[in-house]
Chains A and B, each alone.
Chain A
Amino acid sequence: MEGFPISSNGARPATLAEPSAPPGLSGRGLLRFTTAGSVDDGKSTLIGRLLVDSRQVADDQLAQVEEASRRRSMDGALDLSLLTDGLRAEREQGITIDVAYRYFTTQRRFILADVPGHREYTRNMVTGASTADLSIVLVDVHRGVVEQSRRHAYITSLLGIPHLVVAVNKMDLVDYDQAAFASVVDTFEEFAAGLPVADRLFIPVSALHGDNVVARSERMPWYDGPTLLEHLEQVELSHEHPERVSARLPVQWIIRAPNGEPNVNHRGYAGQLASGVLRTGEEVVLTPSGRRTRIARIETSDGPIEEAVAPQSVSVVLEDDLDVGRGEMISRVDDPPTVAAELEADVCWMSVHPLEAGRRYLIKNSTRTVSALVAEVVHCMDIHTLRPVPDSSSLELNDIGRVRLRTTAPLAFDTYRANRGTGSFILIDETSNDTVAAGMIVGAPAPAQP
């Protein structure tokens, strides 16, 4: 059938050839991805299959799993899901408690945030998805697109993950039938078409038997797209083009030379580029203070460099000695972030104590932490219908909603849509010190009065 794989922007990288890269920089780098779903979808089996078939499981780990499989199951068949069960409490209860991180390497380096589906679902999903560039949503072809699949896709889009893979699993149960696959694709596309995920790919797989996970399936000749691993290896990430994004360097720390050393006046503004490229000699503005100057030098411990590229950690020496520190953001003068003390944002609420209008929290955005007041709960998302419910006054654990915040001092930010680094924040409860929300800035309200 034509039309698979589906890519809504129609642009699939045609070639894997790498352009010549400057020293220290190379081609396809680290891919951070996330998988979410429940045991029933075969998620653990899929991950186990991915790791085992790409020979990423060490012999002693595999032996441990073989032994545990023999002890726990009647038939002693290798239970691939045991590979990813971490804690004793989880094995005893047959559930997964927390996000687990896995590392593997084929032609590319991968970091997988494996998110459980059972408990505290949204909170875990957001934790795993926040740093991911690609999200795998599992759909059991037998059960079709269920509410949880929609929720996965919604959170993927909310968290701004640019690449979504829908792994249509258990194809063995439907006799590798193309029509069954196509039906899932149609249902999924019906609602996902409205989500701003640029790149969607559907892959028919059988995690149990390994079809289209690492090896190409001979039982589905009608599918001519990549296998899951091929896609993971080939997908091109947007941050491979940092020059297309605004330069943002949040100042973390000021480096000063110790007394008595020759460069005693050294003052380095140290931080990790959240996005973009900064060059020596560029005119920059520090926000929210608004001070302007030029970049005199960009330093790394390996010596000065001409340009810094996200996500590099660097230290910048400015031409003028400004009395500013942590919490400022360095940007190009012609491309500054928004500076405001009021903002609207989508938040995922992660605390058992509900968010309510009128409450105060600490907000940490980039390297700046100030107090914030919840001015208004604009709406709460109905997680079943994925529609906003207005007139909500609070957000409960695992709710997602939109709020308006006022801060005690201005923040320098972008919208999350434009910049995941500078458009994100956390809220901290000052009494318990817990992280209670993950927030994505939608915008700053226009000034109310002329």
Chain B
Amino acid sequence: MSVAVRRQLSHLDSLESESIHIMREVAAELERPVLLFSGGKDSAVLLRLAEKAFRPGRFPFPIMHVDTGHNFPEVIEFRDRRVAELGERLIIASVQDSIDRGRAVEETGPRATRNRLQTVTLLDAIAEHGFDAAFGGARRDEERARAKERVFSFRDEFGQWDPRAQRPEVWNLYNGRVRPGEHVRVFPLSNWTELDVWEYIAREDLDLPPIYFAHERDVFQRDGMLYAHSPFVALANGEVPFREWVRYRTVGDMTCTGGVRSRATTLAEVVAEIAATRITERGETRADDRFSEAAMEDRKKMGYF
């Protein structure tokens, strides 16, 4: 006998299998996991992976959205639509509530954003519900600090990430053991790239918020990025809204997410544009990473996603 037929999973199948393994490990080893859902494309992929890992059973965890109140309305519609389809439980943790209760203080000025306030709301919600594991959609290719983060990322009782005290993570033998008050952030998409995510969305024909596809909207230019003109962002001197065809590569708040000029209205066209791009998604569209060279690192230490 001989000629051995080479059987190898495609890279997307390998990534998918790895992510499913990670999600099942969390379900099996932790008491109270939760899936953090932002409404973006990575969240959409996470939900599909959860279906693959646990159907025909129910998800062994609820879905939680940290709602800043400054979301794109299309994203909220998408969230509610997907959760209804799945028939799973949704928890909404509201930044507005945190502000109203005095847990967080609203920033002011034209560059005010609730991006950093999310951390307070998130950590409060994790404590309130007693979650010991939280799935996030972060990928290591997104940013330099994330490149060094474990798949199971330990957080102390203050929700903080300490890059110098990460647990060794060998083979696929994850250690999610935590004491009361501590939790792990778990990133099933750690090894995916942006292009992998898009190719997977295309392959699985996943539903997405429409803002990922080219559409016409009122935008204004700031720091070389095109922001949506919305009630949440005050225009600074000289900033004038205009009509433009844009799509979004990432979905954060309307206050910190820029669109890119595009005419790509179909999934295939978007994938083609992403494959050809020479700029990273965070570099192109996220103001929250531009505060400093180590913006993400600093926020992660505080307990950010």
CB neighbours of A123 from chain B (8 A) = 168
Q: Determine how close the nearest CB of chain A comes to the CB of B41; give it in whole angstroms.
A: 17
User: Closest Cβ of chain B: how far from A92's Cβ, in Å?
Assistant: 10
| A253 neighbours in B (Cβ, 8 Å) | 24, 27-28, 53-54
Contact of B144 with A87 in the complex, beta carbons under 8 Å: yes
Residues of A contacting B278 in the complex (Cβ-Cβ under 8 angstroms): 58-59
Q: Is the CB of B51 within 8 A of A421?
A: no
**Which of A140-148, A167-175, A224-232, A430-438 participates in binding chain B?**
A430-438
Instruction: Tell me, yes or no, whether A221 is within 8 Å of chain B by CB.
Output: no
From A98, A101, A300, A433, name the one whose CB has the most chain B CB atoms within 10 angstroms.
A101
Within 8 A of B (CB), among A427-448: 428, 433-435, 438
Question: Which of A149-157, A241-249, A375-383 forms contacts with chain B?
Answer: A241-249
- Binary per-residue interface labels of chain A (23-42) against chain B in the complex, 1 for a CB within 8 Å, 0 otherwise: 01111111000000000000
Instruction: Please provide the chain B residues from 1 to 30 with a CB less than 8 Å away from any CB of chain A in the complex.
Output: 3-11, 13-18, 20-21, 24-25, 27-28
A-B contact count (CB 8 A): 204
Cβ-neighbour of B8 out of A25, A68, A87, A89 (below 8 A): A25
Q: Give chain B nearest CB distance to A445 CB in angstroms.
A: 23
Tell me whether A100 and B170 are in contact (CB under 8 A): no
Q: How many residues of B contact A (CB 8 A)?
A: 63
Nearest residue (CB) in B for A101 is B140
| Chain B positions within 8 Å of A25 at CB level | 7-10, 13
Residue of B nearest to A302 (CB): B52
In the bound complex, residues from chain B placing their C-beta under 8 Å from that of A18 are 6
Most buried by B among A28, A60, A64, A123: A60
Using known A-B contacts A59-B278, A258-B57, determine if residue A21 contacts B8 with beta carbons closer than 8 Å: yes
Rounded to whole angstroms, the CA-CA distance of A181 and B150 in the bound complex is 38
Contact B280 A58 (CB under 8 A): yes
A58's partner among B16, B54, B283, B297 (CB-CB below 8 A) is: B283
Tell yes or no: A111 within 8 A of B by CB. Answer: yes
Cα–Cα, bound, A31→B147 (Å):
17
- Chain B residues lying within 8 Å of A277, measured Cβ to Cβ, are 7
Binds A, one of B97-105, B159-167, B252-260: B159-167
Residue contact B175 to A255, C-beta cutoff 8 Å: no
Chain A stretch 59-92: residues in CB contact (< 8 A) with chain B:
59-61, 64, 68, 85-89, 91
Residue on A nearest B294 in the bound complex, by CB: A88
In the complex, chain B residues whose CB is within 8 Å of the CB of A61: 280, 283
Q: Is A3 an interface residue (CB 8 A)?
A: no
B190 to chain A: which residues have CB within 8 Å? 101
Binds B, one of A125-133, A330-338, A402-410: A125-133
A102 interface residue, CB < 8 Å from B?
A: yes
A424 on the interface (CB 8 Å rule)? yes
Which residues in chain A, 350-389, are within 8 Å of chain B measured between CB atoms?
350, 364-365, 367
Please provide the 4 A-B residue pairs with the shortest distance between their CB atoms, ordered closest to farther: A60-B283, A313-B20, A88-B294, A130-B170
Other A-B pairs, 20, CB within 8 Å; known A22-B7, A99-B148, A252-B21: A21-B6, A29-B10, A61-B280, A86-B148, A100-B147, A101-B148, A123-B168, A131-B172, A240-B8, A258-B56, A301-B51, A309-B9, A313-B17, A364-B175, A420-B171, A424-B171, A426-B170, A426-B171, A435-B168, A435-B170
- A/B interface sample: 10 pairs, CB < 8 A: A29-B9, A87-B148, A88-B293, A89-B163, A103-B191, A243-B5, A263-B56, A272-B17, A300-B52, A309-B9
Residues of B within 8 A of A (CB): 3-11, 13-18, 20-21, 24-25, 27-28, 51-58, 140-141, 144-145, 147-148, 163-164, 166-173, 175, 177-179, 190-191, 193, 195, 277-280, 283-284, 293-294, 297-298
